[in-house]
């Protein structure tokens, strides 16, 4: 199958997040799933601290060759040798999972070619909705809990106030749709990471 260099237009949707969190991105047409992993990390403001994989249903897995699992129940493929274009020709339901403790799940779908820009060597965020979820906060439900208390500070106890101060030291609330592709980031210090692990029990998974 001939792979075009015309950029692909992908939709990344964080599963179960309310309000919705998603990104529309344009990536090189010849990108691999290893490349897509890096693009997703940047799109959601994560720092690649944890393990990840891509799956199609329960039967097919794509991950780094070093993480190969000799399972008789699942067909394994090296993500660095797997083309995003070819994989998305196989399925409309590609799932990316990051951090098997917090279990962030991102649904990936292809919206076609991004013909406004014939060739790109990088990932571009075209549209986005929702903030970057902070790592080690307990996954999507921990993230939604933080969002709730940001909107209802009068209900926070001292522990929650402390968590909000660490997870959001200088990030303003912004859940509106935008076309700028600008990503807001959280400044993470060693103390911040230590607190996150203490609060959630998350480690390298």
The mean predicted confidence, pLDDT, of the chain is 83
The CB density around residue 174, as the number of other CB atoms within 10 Å, is: 12
- Say yes or no to pLDDT of 129 above 50: yes
Q: How long a stretch of residues is the chain?
A: 205
| pLDDT tens string 153-205 | 888 888 888 888 878 786 444 334 444 444 333 334 434 444 455 444 444 56
Structural domains of the chain, with CATH? 1-205 (3.10.290.30)
Global confidence as pTM: 0.79
Measuring CA to CA, which residue among 43, 9, 40 is closest to residue 26?
A: 9
Distance CA 76, CA 43 (A): 26
Torsion angles phi and psi, residue 8, rounded to 5: -95, 140
User: pLDDT tier at 93 (50, 70, 90 boundaries)?
Assistant: confident
């Amino acid at each position: 199958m001939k792979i075009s260099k015309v950029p692909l237009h992908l939709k990344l949707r964080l599963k179960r997040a309310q309000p919705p969190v998603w990104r529309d991105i344009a990536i090189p047409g010849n990108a691999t799933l290893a490349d897509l992993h890096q693009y997703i990390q940047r799109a959601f403001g994560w720092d690649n601290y944890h393990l990840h994989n891509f799956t199609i249903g329960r039967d097919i897995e794509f991950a780094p060759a070093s993480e190969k699992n000799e399972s008789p129940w699942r067909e394994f493929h090296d993500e660095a040798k797997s083309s995003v274009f070819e994989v998305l020709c196989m399925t409309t339901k590609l799932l990316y999972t990051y951090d098997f403790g917090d279990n962030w799940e991102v649904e990936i779908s292809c919206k076609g070619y991004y013909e406004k820009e014939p060739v790109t060597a990088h990932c571009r965020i075209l549209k986005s909705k929702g903030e970057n979820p902070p790592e080690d906060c307990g996954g999507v439900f921990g993230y939604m809990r933080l969002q709730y208390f940001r909107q209802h500070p009068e209900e926070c106890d001292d522990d929650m106030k402390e968590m909000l101060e660490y997870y959001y030291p200088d990030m303003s609330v912004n859940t509106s749709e935008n076309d700028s592709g600008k990503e807001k980031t959280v400044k993470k210090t060693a103390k911040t990471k230590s607190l996150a692990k203490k609060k959630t029990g998350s480690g390298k998974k």
